[in-house]
Each structure stands twice: as C-alpha cells, then as structure tokens.
C-alpha cells in the first residue's frame, strides 16, 4: 500500500523531462534564435511568422470569455458588494505606487548611464509615422470613453480587456442581486470557466511552435546587425528591469512573506511563453489559474489580473522613461528637471490601456514624446529597429508585476491562503499541467 502511494505521489516528478512545457518552450526559443541567425531568409518566411502570430491569436481567442467568467463568478460568490469596490481601490492604489517606482527608476538609470550621448543619430520620421498617428488619438478622454463598448457583442468580438471587464463587473453585480435565483446561472458560468480552461490546456500544447516561430522571425528579420550601437540601450533596459523585479518587487514580496525568486520559478512556464511571443497576453489565462492555485482568492484574481493588464504596466513605464531620455541624448536635446517630471506624469497616463500586445509600448512612447517635446518624436526611428528586442522584457516585467500585485492585494484583503502559497512556492512540480486542475475543479 505504502509503495503504491509513494509511486503515485512521485508520479508527476517522474514525468519525462521532454514532456514538461517550460523545457519544450525553452528549446523552441533557442532553436528559433539559431534558425533566425543562420537562415534568415527561411526564418522570415510568412509561414514561420504565422506560427507565432497564430499561437497568440489562439490565446487571445479565449481571453475575453475567461475574464468574463472569472470576474462574474468572483463577484457573484461575494455576499458583500462593498468588497468589490474595496478590492478595486486597493489594486489601483498599489498599481499607481509601484508604477511610480518603475518610472522613477527608469529616469535614474537613464540619467546615470546616458547611453544615448555620442550616437550621432539621423532619424527617419517616416519610419514611425503610423505610430505617431495612432498616438494622436491616445488621449485621456478617449481612453475613458473607450472603456464603454458600443455593444456587449462588440467588446467580446474585439477582445478589448477593459470593455469586457466593465460588462463583467456590471453583470456580476446584477447576478449577485438575484440572490438564490442567480445560483443556477452562476453554476453554469463556473462550469463554462472550467471548460474554457480545458481549451487553454489544449492550446498550450502549441506553445513551443508559437515561441519558435516568433523568435525565429524576430532574429531573422532584425538580426544581430540590427542591434548596432543601440546595444547599450538594450543592456540598460534589461539591467533596469532586472533591478526593478529583484529590488522593488523583491522588497514588496519580502514584506508579504514570500521570495520573489521562488515566485519567478513558480511562473517560469508563463515567462518563457511571454519571452517567445513578446506578448504578456499570451500567458494571461494560465497566470490566473496559477495564482488561484497559489492561494489567492478567486474574486481578487478575477479583478486584479485583468485590471493590471491595463493599469499596472511596470515594464512599459521603465521603457518609456529610458527611451525618452535615450532619444533626447541621441538628438542632443537637453531636458530640464521640469520636463523630466512631465515625463513621469505623462507616461503614467499614456501607459494606461497598453494591454501587453507587441507594439503597444512603442505607440505609448509616441504619445509621451509628443507631449514632453514634439522635437523628440522623429527620434523614435532611432529605437524602432531594436524595439522588438525590448518588447520581450517589457512583457516579462509586466506579467511578473501583475502576478506579485495579485498576491499583495489578496494578502492586503486577508484572503491569501498562506499554506497554499508556501506549499506551491517550495515544491518543484510542473504546475503548468492544467488538465488536472480542470478535471478536479
């Protein structure tokens, strides 16, 4: 009896290494880099690019319904409506405080290292014209109005996270008000949520293909030669993002009572998927599932994670302050202290709504530059060729920050299961295998 129990208990640890998702994705990323470097013509084939784009589309296909089901279920299970508002306020306060740290850290590193000086840049404004045009509409008023969908069906069809979130919150409150009459519908939504996670479990089998395609195309198209003398900006950005995660998020995690390094190890599968696809949205559903298993309450996960994808973009904030200073230094434009403070305020506003899709950081950079100093806008072409190499770190920092934020708000709300947290962070298992959670949920 004891032997069989031990064998069962060690069943997951005895899983062949080549079947573990994060190892498959890691190999796919390395293979993509090699193929893109050695055979760029093959790597830039439309079918190779389609592998990465297709995987992201498969994930985005289920983001709207999973957010709707999770948020509605979380709210409907709450008896006190005031709790929803309380969780939302706590999340927004946390987002703004931590985002401010990210912006300030970016400014400090940009001023200390000043890697843009001596670049002798000659930007081509035409190369970034479309991003500037999109940024012109990125105003605070438009952002608020765009949260309200023209129709519920349209919100789901476009996959707009904030629009779906707004409708889900309203629907959740309405379902809560029905009392016992709404229990049957709530159970249907819960079952639908489990079914959608089952779809995600199937889609995740294609993650290595998606990571290979996206990475091979990126290296094949831009290549090592595209880095040129901009490697300094990339290195500083990587260093600043690492400092933010280890020092800022690490201190926050320590305050709550867990290790940031163990947390990163826990979500390693999601980080590798994000690394391969350059989009933090590609790991959103799986991150929500893991955070629930980590001990965060369902209602907090359902509210904090989707909201964080628009309001808690730490990597994007670091990128905007660093890139703005880099462009100014490269063009020989001196930014006064007041202008640098303006960067903080403007970047805080323009970053809202950039939901982790590749290129969103570049669009928000255009919006920031146009307000701080229009002379800097053509300088976007300087960083255009290497933006793809920085989008991975933007997405990695964003998803890590949102994961930590969810744990912090759960702890702040008094709904963090400490035993689950410690058990999951300390054990070494393939927690990305979601089928078990779906069948037992």
Q: What's the pLDDT score for residue 151?
A: 87
Q: What is the mean pLDDT of residues 328-336?
A: 80
Q: Is the pLDDT of residue 401 over 80?
A: yes
Q: Exposed/middle/buried for 227, CB within 10 Å: 0-12, 13-18, 19+? A: middle
pLDDT digits (tens, 9 = 90+) for 229-278: 467 778 888 899 999 999 999 999 999 999 999 999 999 888 888 887 77
Q: Which CATH number fits domain 2-440: 2.70.98.90, 3.40.50.2300, 2.60.40.1290, 1.10.3860.10?
A: 1.10.3860.10
Q: What is the mean pLDDT of residues 347-359?
A: 56
| Residue, of 13 and 374, whose pLDDT is higher | 374
Label residue 118 by pLDDT band (50, 70, 90).
low
Label residue 291 by pLDDT band (50, 70, 90).
very high
- Cβ atoms 376, 54 nearer than 8 A: no
| Three-state secondary structure string covering 259-314 | CHHHHHHHCHHHHHHHHHHCCHHHHHHHHHHHHHHCCECHHHHHHHHHHHHHHCCH
Tokens 């489990």 found at: 194
Q: What's the pLDDT score for residue 386?
A: 65
pLDDT digits (tens, 9 = 90+) for 129-185: 555 555 554 555 665 677 788 888 888 888 777 788 888 888 988 888 887 888 888
Q: What's the pLDDT score for residue 435?
A: 44
| N- to C-terminal Cα separation, the chain | 27
Q: What is the mean pLDDT of residues 99-116?
A: 87
């Amino acid at each position: 009896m004891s032997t069989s129990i031990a064998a069962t208990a060690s069943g997951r640890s005895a899983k062949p290494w080549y079947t573990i998702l994060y190892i498959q994705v890691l190999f796919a990323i390395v293979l993509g880099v090699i193929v893109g470097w050695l055979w760029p013509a093959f790597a830039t084939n439309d079918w190779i690019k389609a592998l990465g784009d297709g995987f992201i589309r498969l994930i985005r296909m289920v983001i709207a319904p999973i957010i709707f089901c999770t948020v509605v279920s979380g709210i409907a299970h709450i008896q006190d409506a005031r709790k929803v508002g309380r969780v939302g306020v706590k999340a927004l306060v946390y987002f703004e405080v931590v985002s401010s740290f990210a912006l300030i850290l970016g400014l400090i590193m940009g001023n200390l290292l000043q890697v843009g000086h001596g670049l002798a840049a000659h930007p081509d404004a035409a190369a970034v014209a479309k991003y500037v045009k999109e940024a012109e509409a990125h105003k605070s008023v438009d952002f608020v109005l765009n949260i309200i969908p023209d129709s519920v069906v349209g919100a789901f069809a476009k996959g707009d996270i904030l629009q779906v979130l707004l409708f889900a919150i309203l629907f959740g409150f309405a379902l809560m008000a029905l009392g016992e009459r709404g229990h049957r519908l709530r159970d249907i939504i819960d079952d639908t949520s489990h079914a959608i996670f089952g779809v995600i479990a199937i889609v995740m089998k294609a993650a290595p293909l998606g990571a290979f395609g996206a990475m091979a195309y990126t290296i094949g198209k831009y290549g090592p030669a595209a880095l040129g003398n901009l490697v300094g900006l990339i290195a500083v950005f990587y260093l600043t993002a690492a400092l933010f995660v280890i020092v800022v998020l690490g201190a926050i995690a320590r305050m709550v009572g867990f290790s940031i390094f163990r947390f990163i190890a826990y979500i390693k599968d999601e980080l590798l998927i994000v690394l391969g696809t350059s989009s933090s949205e590609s790991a959103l559903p799986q991150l929500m599932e893991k955070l629930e298993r980590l001990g965060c309450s369902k209602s907090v996960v359902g509210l904090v994670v989707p909201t964080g994808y628009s309001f808690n973009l730490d990597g994007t904030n670091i990128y905007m302050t660093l890139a703005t200073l880099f462009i100014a230094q490269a063009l020989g434009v001196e930014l006064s202290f007041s202008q640098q403070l303006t960067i903080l305020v403007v970047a805080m506003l323009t970053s809202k709504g950039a939901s982790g899709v590749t290129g969103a950081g570049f669009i928000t950079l255009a919006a920031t530059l146009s307000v701080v100093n229009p002379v800097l806008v053509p300088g976007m072409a300087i960083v255009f060729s290497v933006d793809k190499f920085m989008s991975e770190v933007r997405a990695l920092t964003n998803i890590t920050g949102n994961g930590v934020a969810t744990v912090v708000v759960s702890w702040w709300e008094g709904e963090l299961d400490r035993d689950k947290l410690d058990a999951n962070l300390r054990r070494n298992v393939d927690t990305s295998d979601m089928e078990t959670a779906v069948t037992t949920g």
